[in-house]
């Protein structure tokens, strides 16, 4: 981590809040090239300031080429041999939300939404961590890995001097503004890496638009549900293809959104830019009303609910005595979390029955063989709601799990660090700065009523099925539910 040159997202967004930076368009379009790289640029800075390791390109589950090749071949074979039903609603997923439940694999985000009307829904699944899903549900599913590999390969082949010169100009201008406005210097290596990333995305964009435009028409898709539609990058080509094919687009919330989230909050000049607006989905479907007030992306915001949370509680939740202390990792600063867990375990005044550390999914595999301090356990339960049902306190810097914990009657505590204060400057939960402060809270609050500043129904809208069905039927003017 480097010295902190800014204290909130507003300071950082001043870097992009410049009409001149937005004046450089992707070739043959009105879309600013900045839209393809803004998140990577901003997170390069955030990673160096707030994290112990880079957060751009963070993928701790390394997969070799043979495994990726096998996944690609199976995807091709499945797409050729399966006979998916025509569907009006398509869910485009990354595959990173896949999890095992009983004898099948489900997508944490899309499966429940698609099952609201399985006859009218199709999932177009990404490769995630390159693990082939066993008995994926629902079954009306195709895989987009072959099309992604093709588009990226063509992008590398067709990256031209025009792309490289444009990319370097944009990154150099943004780097200069970062130095001037917030006093942050990007290294030459970081500038070159970001420029190479941008040039490839600019070259890949036409391939993505061409493929998806033809695919949407062939499949007769009318509504495209996106996992990360507001985050730019290669998703811009998908959204542009959908607009060309007259397909309505909507992102469904897939994690924590806050007033400090760089992916969903943008500068005033960016908001007003017509070309940038064309890169965004028409709608954003959120968990609840509280989230709608956290971001300024110029999209229509609709509070629907959290399908995975609601349906998981119906299937698996068993009320239990709450006595555990659960610490939720962030995937990056692992050692800090383990040290905190050890301090809690060694404090006799707290008297916790168990102290559990639950790794973030991106760090879970590499921590399977880690040596933990005595008395600290790894929470390996694939279902976090089983763990939450037994947890009295839930501690983290930044996690949707804090919000789910509040809804399940746990006592969430936010670890107040420069990172968490940047991302969640006005937390709806009690917070602590130091271990001494935490120890005092844990020792005295076990038998006290715990209050949050927001009612949990503001976090998670009730009756998500009715809310989602109403949305689909209104935008498509159809009877969506299978009768």
Same domain, 56 and 182: yes
- How are strands ordered across the β-sheet holding 89-92? 141-143, 121-125, 89-92, 223-226, 248-252, 283-286, 300-303
My answer on whether 289 and 400 are in the same domain is no
Residues 270 and 398 in one domain: no
| pLDDT at position 371 | 73
The bridge status of strand 283-286 relative to strand 104-107 is: unpaired
How far apart (Å, rounded) are the C-alpha atoms in residues 98 and 136? 9
In the block, tokens 């505590």 appear at 413
pLDDT in single tens digits along all 483 residues of the chain = 555 565 789 999 999 999 999 999 999 899 999 999 999 999 999 988 887 666 665 554 556 788 999 999 999 999 999 988 889 999 999 998 888 888 899 998 899 999 999 889 999 999 988 999 999 999 999 999 999 999 999 999 999 999 999 999 999 999 999 999 999 999 999 999 999 999 999 999 999 999 999 999 999 999 999 999 999 999 999 999 999 999 999 999 999 999 999 999 999 999 999 999 999 999 999 999 999 999 999 999 999 999 999 988 887 666 667 788 999 988 777 888 888 888 888 876 666 678 999 987 777 666 666 677 788 888 888 788 889 988 999 999 988 999 999 998 899 999 999 889 999 998 998 999 988 888 888 877 665 655 555 577 889 999 999 999 999 999 998 777 654
What would the two tokens of residue 266 be? 């943008």
Cβ(284)–Cβ(302) below 8 Å: yes
Tokens of 2: 């480097």
Give the structural domain span for 431: 312-459
* Torsions phi, psi for 99 (to 5 deg): -150, 155
| pLDDT at residue 483, as a whole number | 46
- 230 and 354 in a single domain? The answer is no
pLDDT at 199: 97
Same domain, 46 and 188: yes
12 shares its domain with 56: yes
For tokens 């629902």, the residue is 138
67, 99 Cβ separation under 8 angstroms: no
The pLDDT, as a whole number, for residue 368 is 65
Q: Comparing C-alpha atoms, which of 116, 126, 30 is closest to residue 75?
A: 126
Query: Are residues 26 and 138 both part of a single domain?
Result: yes
Task: Name the residue among 328, 271, 285, 360 with its Cα closest to residue 116.
Answer: 285
Tell me, yes or no, whether 346 and 466 share the same domain. no
User: Among all chains, which residue has been given the structure tokens 């900045």?
Assistant: 34
Pair 300, 372 in one domain: no
Q: What residues form DSSP beta bridges with 396?
A: 414
Whole-angstrom Cα distance, residue 128 to residue 106? 12
Q: What's the distance, CA 218 to chain centroid?
A: 29
Give the domain CATH number at 411.
Answer: 3.40.50.12580
Cβ burial of 269 (10 Å; 0-12, 13-18, 19+) is middle
Looking at the fold, whether 300 and 317 belong to one and the same domain comes out as no
Beta-bridged to residue 284, according to DSSP, are 251, 301
Q: For residue 97, which of 471, 384, 462 has the smallest C-alpha distance?
A: 384
- Within this chain, do residues 251 and 347 fall inside the same structural domain, yes or no? no
Rg of the chain on CA atoms, in Å: 23
Q: Which residues, in sequence order, are bridge partners of residue 98?
A: 107
In this structure, are 338 and 268 located in the same domain?
Answer: no
Q: How many domains does the chain have?
A: 2
Q: Give the whole-angstrom CA distance, residue 11 versus residue 54.
A: 21
Q: What's the pLDDT at 57?
A: 57
Q: Take residue 108 and report the two structure tokens written for it.
A: 């944490």
407: nearest Cα among 324, 313, 318 = 313
Sign of the dihedral through C-alpha 178, 184, 190, 192: positive
Between the alpha carbon of residue 210 and those of residues 213, 237, 432, the distances in Å are: 5, 9, 51
């Amino acid at each position: 981590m480097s010295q902190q040159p800014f204290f909130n997202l507003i300071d950082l967004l001043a870097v992009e809040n410049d009409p001149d930076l937005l004046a450089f368009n992707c070739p043959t379009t009105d879309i600013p090239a900045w839209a393809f790289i803004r998140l990577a640029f901003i997170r390069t800075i955030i990673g160096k300031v707030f994290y112990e390791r880079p957060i751009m390109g963070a993928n701790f589950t390394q997969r070799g080429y043979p495994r990726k090749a096998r996944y690609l071949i199976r995807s091709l074979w499945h797409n050729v041999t399966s006979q998916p039903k025509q569907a009006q609603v398509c869910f485009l997923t990354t595959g990173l939300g896949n999890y095992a439940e009983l004898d099948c694999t489900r997508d944490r985000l899309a499966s429940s939404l698609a099952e609201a009307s399985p006859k009218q829904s199709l999932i177009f699944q990404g490769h995630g961590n390159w693990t082939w899903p066993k008995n994926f549900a629902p079954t009306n599913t195709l895989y987009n890995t072959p099309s992604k590999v093709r588009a990226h390969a063509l992008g590398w082949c067709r990256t031209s001097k025009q792309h490289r010169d444009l990319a370097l100009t944009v990154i150099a201008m943004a780097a200069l503004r970062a130095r001037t406005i917030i006093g942050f210097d990007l290294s030459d290596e970081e500038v070159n890496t970001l420029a190479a990333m941008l040039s490839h995305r600019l070259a890949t964009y036409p391939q993505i638009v061409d493929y998806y435009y033809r695919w949407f028409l062939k499949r007769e898709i009318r509504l495209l549900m996106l996992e990360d539609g507001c985050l730019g990058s290669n998703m811009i080509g998908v959204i542009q293809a959908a607009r060309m094919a007259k397909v309505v687009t909507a992102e469904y919330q897939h994690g924590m959104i806050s007033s400090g989230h760089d992916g969903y909050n943008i500068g005033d000049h960016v908001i007003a830019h017509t070309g940038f607006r064309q890169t965004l989905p028409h709608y954003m479907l959120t968990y609840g009303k509280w989230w709608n007030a956290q971001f300024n992306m110029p999209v229509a915001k609709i509070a629907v609910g959290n399908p995975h949370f609601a349906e998981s509680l119906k299937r698996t939740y068993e009320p239990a005595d709450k006595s555990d202390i659960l610490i939720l990792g962030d995937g990056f600063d692992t050692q800090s979390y383990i040290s905190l867990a050890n301090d809690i375990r060694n404090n006799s005044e707290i008297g916790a029955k168990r102290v559990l550390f639950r790794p973030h999914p991106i760090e879970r595999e590499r921590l399977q063989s880690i040596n933990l301090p005595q008395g600290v356990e790894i929470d390996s339960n694939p279902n976090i709601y089983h763990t939450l049902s037994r947890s009295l306190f839930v501690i983290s810097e930044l996690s949707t799990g804090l919000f789910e914990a509040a809804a399940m009657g746990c006592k969430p505590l936010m670890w107040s660090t420069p990172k968490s204060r940047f991302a969640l400057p006005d937390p709806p939960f009690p917070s602590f700065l130091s271990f001494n402060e935490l120890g005092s809270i844990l020792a005295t609050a076990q038998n006290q009523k715990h209050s949050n500043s927001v009612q949990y129904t503001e976090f998670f809208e009730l009756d998500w099925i009715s809310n989602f069905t109403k949305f689909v039927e209104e935008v498509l003017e159809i009877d969506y539910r299978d009768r």
